[in-house]
């Protein structure tokens, strides 16, 4: 229920005041970072996304050196773990109106998830919960995550992830992952201009694909498109690259592109080997 260790503005603490604007309004950002052998995987990419989010929400520019020092302190000696980092706009009494651009830093160390990623891939369902189309918040990892909670709430025990469409029917992402389709040796991944989070691992996969000479297209993706793909895989910073074994309508083989990319990213040390 509690993190293994937590720093709030650099000091060991596990509690925040009720005026905290993350609690009151979700007025902040977060990152979920894999730690392996004391190393923060894809750390600078996580900071890059935080910087973009801070600018979008009207928060002060992030202090990369300070965040790096605090995150590194928590990661020391951790063989396998997760750092959840939150930047929350400073409290300012009651009311939506923000009186500050400054943020509180909450860095919490959590255990690696018990339920690992199966090598055989994951069985995925379609969520009934839709993602709203909100270009002002799309792409960034802000703290307003009720849609993801409602999506996860739908998952039965047999499903490791649920795919979510937006309110116009476009397939956007899993509840906690980005999605790629493999088709005739190339990759397609949904456009995130109107909904979804631009995952750090998603960006890493696109770079890796380029290095391997695999074409990647960003486009609108329909449910029918998903169902005719040769292979599907999911990505996030913790699970790395994870093949989809089935959707209710069909099964997929373990795709060759997912495998190549996962091996390449692991070889670079950017995805954890659990």
Q: d(Cα 258, Cα 242) in Å, to the nearest integer?
A: 7
CB of 196 to a second copy, least distance (A): 13
Smallest Cα–Cα separation from 130: which of 104, 103, 110, 151?
Answer: 151
Q: What are phi and psi of 232, to 5 degrees?
A: -135, 140
Site for a second copy contains 198 (CB under 8 A): no
- Cβ proximity to a second copy: between 128 and 250 the closer is 128
Q: d(Cα 7, Cα 12) in Å, to the nearest integer?
A: 5
CB of 22 to a second copy, least distance (A): 4
Q: Quick one: which segment of 11-19, 39-47, 217-225, 260-268 binds a second copy (CB under 8 A)?
A: 11-19
Binding mask 47-86 for a second copy (x = CB under 8 A): ----------xx-----------------------x-x-x
Q: How many whole angstroms from its chain centre is CA 234?
A: 11
Site for a second copy contains 177 (CB under 8 A): no
Smallest Cα–Cα separation from 143: which of 180, 95, 94, 106?
Answer: 106
- Cβ proximity to a second copy: between 29 and 181 the closer is 29
Q: What are phi and psi of 154, to 5 degrees?
A: -80, -20
Partners of 250 in beta bridges: 247
Residue 44 CB neighbours (<10 A) = 10
Of the candidates 42, 75, 78, 88, which one interacts with a second copy according to CB under 8 A?
Answer: 88
CB of 235 to a second copy, least distance (A): 16
Count residues binding a second copy (CB under 8 A). 64
Site for a second copy contains 16 (CB under 8 A): yes
HSE (side-chain half, CA atoms, 13 Å) at 64: 10
Of the candidates 12, 61, 96, 157, which one interacts with a second copy according to CB under 8 A?
Answer: 96
CB of 117 to a second copy, least distance (A): 14
Smallest Cα–Cα separation from 87: which of 42, 134, 53?
Answer: 53
Site for a second copy contains 144 (CB under 8 A): yes
- Cβ proximity to a second copy: between 138 and 181 the closer is 138
Cβ contact 151:161 at 8 Å: no
Q: Is 148 helix (H, G, I), strand (E, B) or coil?
A: helix
Site for a second copy contains 119 (CB under 8 A): no
Q: Which of residues 217-256 bind a second copy (CB under 8 A)?
A: none
Smallest Cα–Cα separation from 239: which of 131, 95, 115, 144?
Answer: 115
- Cβ proximity to a second copy: between 56 and 245 the closer is 56
Cβ contact 161:122 at 8 Å: yes
- Cβ proximity to a second copy: between 32 and 68 the closer is 32
Cβ contact 227:247 at 8 Å: yes
What residue ranges bind a second copy (CB under 8 A)? 1-3, 6, 8, 14-27, 30, 32, 57-58, 82, 84, 86, 88-89, 91-98, 106, 108, 110, 113, 129-130, 132-137, 142-153, 155, 167, 175-176
């Amino acid at each position: 229920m509690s993190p293994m260790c937590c720093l709030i503005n650099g000091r060991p603490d596990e509690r925040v005041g009720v005026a905290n604007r993350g609690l009151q309004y979700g007025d902040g950002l977060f990152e979920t970072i894999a730690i392996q052998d004391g190393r923060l995987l894809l750390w600078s990419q996580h900071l890059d996304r935080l910087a973009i989010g801070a600018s979008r929400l009207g928060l002060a520019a992030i202090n990369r050196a300070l965040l790096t020092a605090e995150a590194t302190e928590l990661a020391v000696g951790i063989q396998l773990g997760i750092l959840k980092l939150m930047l929350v706009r400073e409290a300012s009494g009651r009311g939506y109106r923000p009186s500050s651009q400054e943020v509180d830093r909450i860095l919490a160390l959590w255990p690696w998830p018990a339920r690992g990623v199966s090598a055989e891939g994951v069985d995925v369902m379609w969520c009934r919960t839709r993602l709203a189309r909100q270009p002002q918040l799309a792409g960034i990892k802000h703290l307003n995550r009720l849609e993801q909670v409602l999506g996860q709430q739908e998952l039965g025990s047999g499903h490791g992830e649920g795919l979510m469409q937006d309110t116009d029917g476009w397939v956007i992402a899993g509840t906690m992952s980005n999605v790629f389709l493999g088709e005739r040796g190339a990759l397609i991944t949904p456009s995130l201009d109107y909904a979804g989070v631009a995952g750090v691992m998603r960006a890493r996969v696109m770079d890796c694909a380029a290095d391997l000479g695999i074409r990647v297209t960003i486009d609108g993706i329909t449910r029918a498109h998903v169902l005719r793909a040769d292979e599907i895989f999911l990505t996030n910073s913790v699970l790395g690259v994870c093949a989809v074994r089935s959707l209710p309508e069909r099964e997929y083989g373990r795709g060759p592109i997912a495998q190549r990319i996962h091996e390449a990213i692991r070889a670079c040390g950017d995805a954890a080997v659990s």
